[in-house]
Amino acid sequence: MGVVENNARGGDGWVEVDPMQMEVTGQVPVRREYAGSGQLAGFSGYFVMQFDRKVARSGIWIGDQAEYDKTRQEGDGLRLGL
């Protein structure tokens, strides 16, 4: 079992499971930490995780609400800054 947590806030970014390709991909926009704190910095981080075994089951969650067999999540459902 594995868990991928998208640390994006306010609907930014996404994580997607592709069972046929046996991979998880995602995008997280970078936000400023100092000058203009919380504003988009103008670039994103991306990732691809490839597995050597089939994905048996996938799902998403926001807070304590889980939705099984979904393959894509946009942001985390929280307002920016939470």
pLDDT tens track for 41-82:
888 889 999 999 888 888 887 767 888 888 888 876 666 654
Does residue 77 form part of some domain? no
79 in any annotated domain: no
This prediction's pTM: 0.72
d(CA 70, CA 23): 14
- Residue 60 in any domain: the answer is yes
Residue 60: the pLDDT is 80
pLDDT at 5: 67
Tokens representing 14 are: 């996404």
| In the predicted structure, residue 27 carries a pLDDT above the cut 80 | yes
Q: Which domain holds residue 40?
A: 14-70
Q: Is residue 4 part of a domain?
A: no
* pLDDT at site 80: 60
Nearest CA to 78 out of 67, 64, 58, 68 is that of 64
Q: How many domains does the chain have?
A: 1
d(CA 77, CA 79): 7
Structure tokens at 27: 């995008």
82: in domain: no
